[in-house]
Amino acid sequence: MGDFLGAAFLIVLLSPLFLVIYLVYKLTGCGEVIYSQERIGLGGKPFKIYKFRTMVQEAECDGVPMLETPDDVRLLKYGKWMRTKHIDELPQLFNVLKGDMSFVGYRPERQYFINQIMEHNSDYKLLFVSRPGVTSMATVYNGYTDTIDKMLKRLDLDLEYLRTRTLLLDLKIIFDTIVHI
């Protein structure tokens, strides 16, 4: 219930920012504002995660999932900035409202990358006992995961979170996320 109320409050509070982002996209002709992507969540079930689009449409037009690269030409001119500040993640508040995500948890991944991670560490499946989060220890301390090594480090942090989670730890992660952003 706390996640739901918190997400609803933040959506109302941040609605002017959402409107500005929407207008920028529409006025610059950059296409769709929000995109959804299938991720794996609670119980190993897929769900659609929402984000502000930071790359050109059809960024993965060949159907093979790709990670961001340095100086990625697929990024919109403000996409890198939005990613650095994690503003692209704000639509995930709607995922929290729907019950697909919590504020704090592991970062949900696409099945394609889960398969690669599990070739190195099959413990990934242990994450499915809880809802993924909008933020996590890995978000704060590992940043964006653009390599398999970072994905494995993120997994270690996510498993550590599951072993030690408390309300106090969640509040610390939320605080650190705000400070980090």
28-32, 84-88, 108-112, 159-163: range with lowest mean pLDDT: 28-32
**pLDDT at residue 98 in the model:** 96
Looking at the predicted structure, is the pLDDT value of residue 92 above 80?
Answer: yes
Residues 6 or more apart in contact with residue 140 via CB below 8 angstroms? 173, 176, 177, 180
pLDDT higher at 102 or 78: 102
pLDDT band at 60 (very low <50, low <70, confident <90, very high): low
- Cα-to-chain-centroid distance, residue 149: 18
Q: Provide the β-strand partners of residue 133.
A: 102
Q: What is the mean pLDDT of the chain?
A: 87
pLDDT band at 79 (very low <50, low <70, confident <90, very high): confident
Q: Provide the β-strand partners of residue 12.
A: none
First to last CA, the chain: 25
Helix 148-164 × helix 167-180 angle, to 10°: 140
Looking at the predicted structure, is the pLDDT value of residue 34 above 60?
Answer: yes
28-32, 65-69, 82-86, 162-166: range with lowest mean pLDDT: 65-69
- pLDDT (average), residues 105-128: 94
Half-sphere exposure of 23 (CA within 13 A, CB side): 6
- Cα-to-chain-centroid distance, residue 157: 15
- DSSP conformation letters of 121-161: -GGGGGGGGS--EEE-HHHHHH-S--SHHHHHHHHHHHHHH
Q: What is the pTM of this model?
A: 0.86
The Cα–Cα gap between 71 and 116 comes to 24
pLDDT higher at 82 or 129: 129
Neighbours of 83 (CB within 10 A): 20
**Best CA proximity match to 141, nearest among 131, 155, 127:** 155
Looking at the predicted structure, is the pLDDT value of residue 71 above 80?
Answer: no
**pLDDT at residue 64 in the model:** 60
- pLDDT (average), residues 47-74: 71
